[in-house]
Structure 1
Amino acid sequence: MHPWVVADRVAWGEQDIDVIDDLAAPFSTLRELRRPVTQDTAQLVHGELTGNVLFAPDYVPAVIDFSPYWRPPVFAEAIVVADGLLWFDLPSDLVTAAGRSHPEWPQMLVRALIFRLVAHSEHAGPAGRAHSGEPDRYARAIEVVRQLARS
């Protein structure tokens, strides 16, 4: 099965898997943080916006490489924010500001982080290893989620 399909299903609690050893600790923490949410607003969303929007002067942005998922729109937003936390040093205060717009924002961010973690684990394969620093990036992102849950 495609790694992103597995990652989506695991993020939403529709499938269980084991992840590579290097990511087992953050994965366990994220699963502990995950709580039930409603999906009443589910619709077709792009699940891979980061890196798939082209910008050029005098043109409207172009969305490419559409990765369709049937999830709440705020989940697609949370994936972009998770990517920012993991790879682009997104300041945690911007995450908190984004979270004020939706009551289930912390849970969407938890699911987005699970989505990314599982996708990387699936790409690594059963005997694979995480990229250098990857467990630490997830630990930092998890701390932001914990701060968000406390606020």
Structure 2
Amino acid sequence: MKEILEIFGISGKREKLPGGQGQSLRVGDFVIKPIEEKNKYSWIGEVFMSVSSQNLAIAKPIRSKNGNFVENGYGVTHYIEGDFFISRIAEKVKACIELNQLLQTVAQPADWKHWSSPWQLANRVAWEEADLPGNTDIQSREIIESIKANYKPVYLTRQLIHSDLAGNILFNGSTPVIIDFSPEFRPEAFAEILLITDSIAWHQEPINSLWTTKHVDSLVSQLALRAIVFRLSVMIFLKPKNHAFLLKEFKNFQPLLNVLK
């Protein structure tokens, strides 16, 4: 670890941070964490080199002394003070919309289809671009198919979005702090609806918050169904034969799903 800190030119008191799968470490004014997908993380770093906002604080990757965003399997971002709130959904959605606007012209990288984390594979399942693993438990597969049976076509332009905002928007006073960028190329409205559906399932946000966006109800419903399939499919890609693992997450989304069907 000492060698990695030296390569990035950072020092200071070390403090383990919550979230980030328990692997993020604060070192002074920076956060260091292991990086599994070097190409993806380096691309994110390049994207945010040219992104700035007066209204959002964004934890951006930094380059090492060698000019790289990843060294020996680790990456570093700036540390920005902020607190997590399970409420403030209107402010979170507003921040999501602004972030979408900042990213709307970013082109999809050439190797995008080769990025294959469980989250990106699950997103492709949600958007009917890929199938579940062949060894998926039959009960889990039936749950996914029963939800997708309610799909109707969605025709919207795609752009770069943050696909995991619900737990990754903090607040420094009134300023939203965006951390742990998780890239996807989906409709900008999907980023908003995914944020809200996750907040309903995980953070006790009222279900009626789903109907407070500028989007028509029929579109909201379709995007919410895809958001739920995405989250459930993640569980399958992580543990395809463990129905109980998926069922635990399914119960979080079931009250919302009952309204959508």
Question: TM tier, shorter chain?
Answer: 0.7 to 0.9
Residue equivalent to 1:82:
197
Matches within 5 A, 1:95-106: 95-98=210-213, 101-102=215-216, 104-106=219-221
- CA–CA distance in structure 2, aligned partners of residues 72 and 21 of structure 1: 30
Is 1:20–1:129's contact at 8 Å kept on the other side of the alignment? no
Query: Which structure 2 segments of 5+ residues have no match?
Result: 1-115
Does 2:179 match 1:64?
yes
Which of 16, 21, 29 in structure 1 is aligned with 2:131? 16
Kindly indicate whether the alpha-carbon contact (under 8 Å) linking 2:169 and 2:179 is maintained by their aligned counterparts in 1: yes
The unaligned stretches of length 5 or more in structure 1 are: 147-151
Query: For the aligned residues, what is the CA RMSD?
Result: 2.3
Alignment length (residue pairs)? 143
Residue 134 in 1 paired to residue 134 in 2?
no
Whichever structure has more strand as a proportion of its residues is 2
Distance (Å, rounded) in 2 between the aligned partners of 1:22 and 1:130: 12
1:128 and 1:144 mapped to 2: Cα distance?
Answer: 23
Residue among 117, 120, 141 paired with 2:232: 117
Per residue, is there more helix in 1 or in 2? 1
Q: TM-score, normalised by structure 1?
A: 0.80
- Percent of aligned positions with the same letter in both sequences? 29
> Does the C-alpha gap of structure 1 residues 17 and 125 become closer, same or farther in structure 2, counting only changes over 3 Å?
closer
- Post-superposition shift, 1:104? 1.6
Do residues 54 (structure 1) and 170 (structure 2) align? Answer: yes
TM-score using structure 2 length = 0.49
State how 1:23-42 maps to structure 2 within 5 Å.
23-39=140-156, 41-42=157-158
Change (3 A) 1:112 1:87: same
Greater Rg over alpha carbons, structure: 2
